[in-house]
């Protein structure tokens, strides 16, 4: 469907309401949207009483990355992953490193009140990027022997219909699918994508709802529910926490995050990564190395088997050790695997089963 050069694809996750409104059921915001407007993500629009995705097939960021960059350390280590994202996001994090993509659609919504002008401006915005339909993504991965696809850079669930169609095609060809997510998926979205979703890395940004409300314009509880739900569904799960000085780096908070993860499963890898000043937090200092080590120790004290530091050069704390005999099974340097000794999912020294997806 075309209007003012906007290409819209009818959504799969929404409910019709009275007076021409719709309720989007893709994420935990459950936005009620009037005609001509979008939800908080800026890319799911009510057009004449139906919900449409405005960025279907429009990839604004595309890269082939090492899978360790997602970060995923226990899922096909040492392989490449095709990574793509669009404009828009259902969060508004003050520290977002991809803010030029994630927040652009919202800024158009705020500044333009006239509906026709807003449609025109949004049309130009979502036209940013390259035309990359699902079948082209899968064809590229097959041609270049790339074993997995990551929906990343912005929150994937906001472009659900695009990733859903891609995931189905990929799954049929034996290619695995990965979400790199803020954890705000709705239960409806998780149930629908479950047959095709192999792994998630979820950001657990804080253990404080005030932080989520103030800094991310969201809430903590839906993220915790998604983490539990993903684990219960059998999706391979790793969790990342960006350690921000003065915001979420107290011992109390680090211990709370670690305990929560361990209570879900002590086998979930926890990535504690260094913050760099960005976007609206340019005056916040970068994370000192000691804060990462405190977080690492908090994870280990809580009983987590696998804790990793990130965004720093720290091979010691980025390598995978056997929880039983402490043998180094995977040696890493930043996002590179230097040596992998895991044999059929087991420690090469004592035979302990190292949790993960290895082939």
Look up residue 355 and give its two tokens.
């949790």
pLDDT given at position 259: 98
Q: Please give the average per-residue pLDDT across 296-321, as a whole number.
A: 96
Flag whether pLDDT at 107 surpasses 80: no
Output the pTM of the full model. 0.93
Look-up: residue for tokens 């977002």?
Answer: 96
Structure confidence by residue, pLDDT tens digits, 76-89: 999 999 999 999 99
Query: Where do the H-state alpha helices sit in the chain?
Result: 99-102, 104-111, 115-126, 134-143, 160-172, 187-193, 209-211, 221-232, 251-264, 289-301
Q: Please give the average per-residue pLDDT across 273-298, as a whole number.
A: 95
Structure confidence by residue, pLDDT tens digits, 225-269: 999 999 999 999 999 999 999 999 999 999 999 999 999 999 999
Q: Of the given ranges (1-10, 224-233, 320-329), which has the lowest mean pLDDT?
A: 1-10
Cα separation, 302 vs 267, in Å, equals 12
Cα separation, 27 vs 157, in Å, equals 7
pLDDT given at position 215: 96
Confidence band for 99, pLDDT divided at 50, 70 and 90: confident
pLDDT given at position 287: 97
The answer for residues whose C-beta is within 8 angstroms of residue 145's C-beta and 6 or more apart is: none
Average per-residue pLDDT for the chain: 92
How remote is the C-alpha of 16 from its chain's centroid?
28
Task: Count other Cβ atoms within 10 Å, centred on residue 337.
Answer: 18
pLDDT given at position 97: 86
CATH superfamily of the domain spanning 58-111+120-340:
Aldolase class I (3.20.20.70)
């Amino acid at each position: 469907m075309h209007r003012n050069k906007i290409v819209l694809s009818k959504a799969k996750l929404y409910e019709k309401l009275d007076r021409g409104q719709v309720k989007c059921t893709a994420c935990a915001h459950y936005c009620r949207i009037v005609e001509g407007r979008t939800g908080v993500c800026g890319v799911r629009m009510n057009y004449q009483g139906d919900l449409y995705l405005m960025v279907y097939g429009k990839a604004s960021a595309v890269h082939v990355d090492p899978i360790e960059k997602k970060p995923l350390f226990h899922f096909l280590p040492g392989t490449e992953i095709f990574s793509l994202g669009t404009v828009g996001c259902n969060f508004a994090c003050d520290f977002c490193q991809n803010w030029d993509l994630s927040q652009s659609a919202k800024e158009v919504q705020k500044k333009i009140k006239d509906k026709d002008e807003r449609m025109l401006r949004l049309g130009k915005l979502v036209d940013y990027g390259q035309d990359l339909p699902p079948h082209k993504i899968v064809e590229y991965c097959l041609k270049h022997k790339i074993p997995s696809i990551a929906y990343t850079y912005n929150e994937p669930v906001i472009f659900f219909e695009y990733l859903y169609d891609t995931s189905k095609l990929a799954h049929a060809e034996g290619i695995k699918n990965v979400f790199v997510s803020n954890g705000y998926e709705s239960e409806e979205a998780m149930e629908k994508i479950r047959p095709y979703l192999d792994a998630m890395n979820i950001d657990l940004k804080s253990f404080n709802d005030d932080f989520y409300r103030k800094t991310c314009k969201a809430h903590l509880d839906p993220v915790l529910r998604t983490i539990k739900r993903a684990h219960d569904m059998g999706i391979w799960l790793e969790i990342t926490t960006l350690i921000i000085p003065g915001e979420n780096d107290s011992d109390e908070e680090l211990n709370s995050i670690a305990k929560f993860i361990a209570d879900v499963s002590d086998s979930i890898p926890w990535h504690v990564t260094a913050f760099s000043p960005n976007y609206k937090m340019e005056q916040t200092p970068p994370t000192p190395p000691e804060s990462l080590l405190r977080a690492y120790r908090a994870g280990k004290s809580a009983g987590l088997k696998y804790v990793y530091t990130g965004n720093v050069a720290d091979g010691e704390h980025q390598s995978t050790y056997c929880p039983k005999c402490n043998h180094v099974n995977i040696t890493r340097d930043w996002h590179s695997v230097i040596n992998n000794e895991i044999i059929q999912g087991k420690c090469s020294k004592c035979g302990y089963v190292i949790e993960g997806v290895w082939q």
